[in-house]
């Protein structure tokens, strides 16, 4: 897999993951640092390419906005189950709301008994973070699987030191496809950058469409190219 990135297309649509891509991963989700270059590059790309820039993340929508003011970009939040389009309309997949609440309640005893674990409730999903307790990875996996047992309509998504329960049939790939069916993304060449296994759904969609996929960091991937955050921002700055 080449580490040197290709020329940026004349008519790109940018889709960029948040944690591990736009910002470095922190011990807790609320502790990430948004460097000034992040806002500068995003704003410049958004201006130059007519708003064809979207953040694609597992984070809640309001949290993304809280990290990026005054920018208010298109965002696929909660792995696509909450999506704000370029016109500012928010689309929410509500199919699994009750199932998520029931599963989250089943996880609360594990978190209460193990300081350092973090249960993050969101609008349509719930995430169990174990970055501060990596030795509990297997226990967290078993607890999430048990929490989802017998609860219809839920999917388990694993990422870097995290397990997430979300509605079935929604992922970062379906979110990217939804954006590409709408202006200003429609008709453009999609470019997707991400660092985690949760980005693989989007890599597959963008690859199928003849776009550009970039893996940030190490790990097995379907992405066509690989770089680090420094290399990604240098490349994006060249387009901005």
How do the pLDDT tens digits run along the chain, 240 residues long?
666 899 999 999 999 999 999 999 887 888 889 999 999 999 999 999 999 999 999 999 999 999 999 999 999 999 899 999 999 999 998 877 788 888 889 999 999 999 999 998 888 888 899 989 999 999 999 999 999 888 877 888 888 888 988 888 889 999 999 999 999 999 999 999 999 888 999 999 999 999 999 999 999 999 999 999 999 999 998 876
**Counted domains in the chain:** 2
Stated pTM of the model: 0.86
Is 155 within a domain? Answer: yes
Q: How far apart are CA 147 and CA 18, in angstroms?
A: 27
Q: Domain of 102? A: 97-167
Give the Å distances, CA to CA, from 30 to 80, 84, 114, 185, 203.
Answer: 20, 22, 19, 30, 27
Is 68 within a domain? Answer: yes
| Contact status, residue 203 vs residue 221, Cβ threshold 8 Å | yes
Among 167, 197, 226, give the residue marking a domain's end. Answer: 167
Q: How far apart are CA 206 and CA 210, in angstroms?
A: 6
- Given this model, what pLDDT does residue 39 score? 95
| Contact status, residue 154 vs residue 169, Cβ threshold 8 Å | no
Same domain, 67 and 35: yes
Same domain, 23 and 86: yes
DSSP code of residue 91? E
Same domain, 87 and 191: yes
Burial label for 186, CB within 10 Å (0-12, 13-18, 19+), is exposed
Give the Å distances, CA to CA, from 13 to 41, 70, 108, 179, 239.
Answer: 14, 21, 40, 9, 12
Same domain, 132 and 233: no
| Collapsed DSSP state (helix, strand, coil) of residue 75 | strand
Is 5 within a domain? Answer: no
**Known active-site residue 17:** yes
Question: Of residues 17, 46, 93, 195, which has the active-site annotation?
Answer: 17
Same domain, 112 and 75: no
| Residue 113, number of CB atoms within 10 A of its CB | 8
Same domain, 74 and 141: no
- Given this model, what pLDDT does residue 110 score? 94
């Amino acid at each position: 897999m080449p580490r040197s990135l290709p020329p940026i297309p004349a008519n790109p649509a940018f889709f960029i993951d948040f944690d591990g891509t736009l910002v470095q991963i922190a011990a807790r989700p609320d502790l990430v640092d948004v460097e000034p270059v992040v806002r500068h590059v995003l704003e410049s790309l958004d201006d130059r390419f007519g708003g064809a820039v979207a953040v694609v993340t597992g984070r809640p929508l309001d949290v993304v906005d809280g990290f990026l003011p005054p920018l208010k970009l298109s965002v696929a939040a909660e792995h696509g189950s909450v999506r704000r389009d370029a016109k500012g309309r928010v689309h929410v997949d509500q199919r699994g709301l009750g199932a998520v609440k029931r599963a989250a309640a089943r996880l609360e005893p594990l978190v209460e008994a193990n300081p350092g674990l973090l249960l993050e409730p969101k609008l349509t999903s719930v995430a169990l973070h174990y970055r501060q307790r990596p030795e509990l990875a297997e226990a967290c996996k078993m607890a999430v699987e048990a929490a989802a047992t017998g609860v219809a309509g839920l999917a388990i998504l694993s990422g870097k030191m995290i397990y997430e329960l979300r509605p079935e049939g929604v992922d970062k790939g379906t979110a990217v496809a939804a954006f590409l069916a709408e202006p200003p993304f429609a008709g453009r060449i999609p470019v997707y950058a991400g660092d985690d296994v949760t980005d693989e759904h989007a890599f597959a969609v963008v690859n199928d469409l003849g776009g550009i996929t970039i893996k940030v960091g190490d790990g097995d991937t379907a992405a066509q190219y690989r770089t680090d955050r420094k290399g990604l921002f240098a490349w994006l700055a060249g387009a901005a």
